Structure 1
Amino acid sequence: MSIIFFLFGLIIGSFLNVCIFRIPAGESIAFPPSHCGTCKKQLKPIDLVPVFSYLFLGGKCRYCKSKISIRYPLIELLTGFLYFYVYKYYGISFLTVKYIVLITFLIVISFIDYDTQDVYAVTTYPAVILGIIFALIEKFYFGENLLNYFMGLVISALVIFLISKLTGAMGSGDIEIHAIAGIFLGWKLAIINIFLSFIIGGIIAVLAILFKQKKKGDYIAFGPAIGISTIILIFFGNIIIPIYFGV
């Protein structure tokens, strides 16, 4: 079963590459079919096999021989491994479905934010709506406290909103991403996520400056930091909560 989740993740990861490329360009994620970004030639099914096609083609387009970014197979592998580990950690369960959905949105949002320094409502609003649906399911089918999740949403959004107003260093997209994490994780992990995302964001900023990807004072997308911290809490949140809150 583990390998099925991994392969499923590879397939979804291939689709996420399409979303990451097309959403900022204002293009449909369904039409036209996948094509080379350079020569515009429509790709055949054999050209679209996750990871394998990249290796088989030597990282180049079959038709025009233009270079294919290594990021495409890396995103496929990232999605595959994350799906694999969610299953290994949570098994066949409601939480596995819930966290796979969350991770899927986080990958798309984080990479788009990294590329464009922008967060698109078409990615965040559906994620919030699905988070609310999952919270309602947990309430009525599993007896979970609905307030836990809505507090997570409100606390996350409110704290980041206040930080944004006070410092001007964050955008509305960061509020939306934290709100997504809050409705999926609940209020305790939402609070931890705020602090953890700033720590990770600081590390990313330092590394970007050290490796000369950014200069001091440059804007650095915060979405990837929130995505990383949220994924860490998906796997280790239950361990961190007692340490953080001292219970």
Structure 2
Amino acid sequence: MIDVSSSEFRIFAPVFVFLAGLCFGSFLNVCIYRIPLGQSVLHPPSSCPKCKNRLKAKDLIPVFSYIFLKGKCRYCNEPVSIQYPVVEMITSVIWLIIYLRYGFTIEAAGLILLFTILIPVFFIDLQHMIIPNGLVLSGLIGGAAVFLYHVFIKPFGLYESALWYTPLIGMFSSSLILFAVALIGLAIYKNDGAMGMGDVKIFMPIGLFLGWKLSLLTLVISVLLGGITSIILLLFKIKDRKSAIPFGPFIITAALFSALYGNQFLRWYLSICY
């Protein structure tokens, strides 16, 4: 039996969560590289994408291998993308923040699962302008598990509601709004430039995990982030009016804020409005 109140647990649990996040971040790098290429994330073992030499265990130590090898492949001496340690650190930091926020709870486990799925979505959409269906499906399966827990075992804390249909409303509320935007964009521009269907679909697992209130908050924040970023890019002529900007990273950034602080933010906002 784990004594979560012991001083040893309070000391070592955050360290374990951080290190586990680093290890999973290394795997997420594999997902980010291989999924857009239609390759298996499990086989074959990792290799240098340039010289194709198979990497050994000592080459795959998260973050530290990159530092020790000075950002270069051990075999061909070609530069290794900074993305690899960045993804590993982002994953470990997000895991740690979630654990410190929610502790040793089912809510923490659910959010760690959700953002382990969303981190590859962030980088794949940023690089390729796609949100793979396999990642959406993985999120839906995880969200379904949270839904069953909420209905049959105990209300899921993030919902702040015992109503059994709360996650189902969350699953469809923001998705349907974005779907309507996509249809309007299709009617006006004759293409899906206004909103990609991947953005519509990724809100479904987010809504299952976060519930309808936090899902709608995520939608509002992501639109604000996307709008502000687009204006800045246009002002500095980094993008023009015809350029496509991936919306997935804004959704995921907003979802992280909502998951960590959304309910407190909504209570504060309502307190100053009413």
TM-score, structure 2 as length reference: 0.86
Any conservation in 2 of the 1:10–1:76 contact (CA below 8 Å)? yes
Task: Structure 2: state its 5+ residue gaps.
Answer: 1-12, 156-161, 187-193
Q: Is the 8 A contact 1:153 1:183 kept in 2?
A: yes
- Residue 14 (str. 1) matches residue 14 (str. 2): no
| 1:205 equivalent in structure 2 | 230
CA contact (8 A) 1:136 1:146 kept: no
- Structure of higher CA gyration radius: 2
Match of 2:250 among 212, 225, 233: 225
CA distance in 2, matches of 1:34, 1:213: 35
For the aligned residue pairs, the C-alpha RMSD in angstroms reads: 1.5
Match of 2:7 in 1: none
Aligned-partner residue type, residue 152 of structure 2: F
Give the whole-Å Cα distance in 2 for the aligned partners of 1:13 and 1:111. 12
Task: Write the mapping of 1:147-158 to structure 2, written as runs, cut at 5 A.
Answer: 147-158=165-176
CA positional deviation for 1:121:
0.6
- The 5-angstrom pairing of residues 139-178 of structure 1 reads 139-143=151-155, 144-168=162-186, 169-178=194-203
Give the deviation of 1:37 after TM superposition: 0.4
Instruction: Give the distance between the partners of 1:91 and 1:223, measured in 2 at CA.
Output: 28
Q: 1:37 to 1:201 in 2, by over 3 A?
A: same
Equivalence map 1:108-119=2 (5 Å):
108-119=120-131
User: For residues 51 and 124 of structure 1, what CA distance do their matches in structure 2 show?
Assistant: 28
Correspondence 1:171-190 to 2 at 5 A: 171-190=196-215
What amino acid does structure 1 have at the position aligned with 2:185?
T
Cα distance, 1:45 vs structure 2: 0.3
CA-to-aligned-CA distance 1:226-246 (integer Å, 9 cap, x gap): 000000111111212224455
Aligned-partner SS, 1:34: coil
- Unaligned 5+ residue runs, structure 1? none
C-alpha deviations, 1:5-37, integer Å up to 9, x for none?
Answer: 010000000000000000000111011100000
For residues 141 and 236 of structure 2, what CA distance do their matches in structure 1 show? 38
Identity %: 38
1:240 corresponds to: 265
The amino acid that maps onto 1:81 is: V
CA change 1:40–1:213 in 2 (3 A) is: farther
- Asked whether the equivalents of residues 30 and 41 of structure 2 are also in contact (C-alpha less than 8 Å), the reply is yes
> 1:211 deviation in Å?
6.0
